[in-house]
Structure 1
């Protein structure tokens, strides 16, 4: 099934779907509203014509305070049919005093999303609504901030250990 055929099946059920990029490019992307991601992914998984049974990865992107948006890119594969699909959602970024941006989880569709979403939560600071175990996966629970955010400022010390050095290593005080 070609990207155009897949797009036609999806847009018949979800007319708000848009295409990002050139259809003849190496990997065109479908853009969805963030609140529709779980419904569309469930459809992509369950529809017998598509059967996207493998979530290869989810990538979280912070476009910074200038654009004031964040993105999630989902790479899907149908192993039996041998076709791939990239879908993307774009949503507003939060400021320092606001709660983290939130999108619906897809961990109930693909179990591997559990780990991908936890990593994105930990490093990029996106909350996944409905996730069964939304907690840090790489950093300690009491770590401050999300290191892959464009405006992340590393703390100087963590439990007495120097985290960032400005002029080389420091001796313990």
Structure 2
């Protein structure tokens, strides 16, 4: 059995590790994982777009793409389920600090030299505070994809 939690969203290529896991699993071996899907941080992308700023964040994967990769890697059985979760913060500032604390600021903002300036950060915070606030606070979405795949027995 191979188990992985919240790792693959940091990879540029899912195929390479999935193929290696398939190769290393014994017959009937299982690969169980979670990763973040393409709807993760969608509010941030919408806010940047509204402000005329483009987020360079590489697109995260969707459930259909994950299934296709598992199939291409040779897994006989697989399933991918998804869950949308809202992460609440007292303010947009705290939300952005939270993104930085998990290390996702480079994934969201620093690729290809993209960097927000002070005025842009202020505009972003004002937009997030006004548009994505509910009773519990300002929220950001995480789309979690849960995958299960099994290597088949070899038949002659």
Identify whether the pair has TM-score above 0.5, normalized to the shorter chain: no
**Bigger RCO (CA 8 Å, 6+ sep):** 2
The answer to which structure has the higher helix fraction is: 2
Q: TM-score, normalised by structure 1?
A: 0.28
Q: TM-score, normalised by structure 2?
A: 0.30
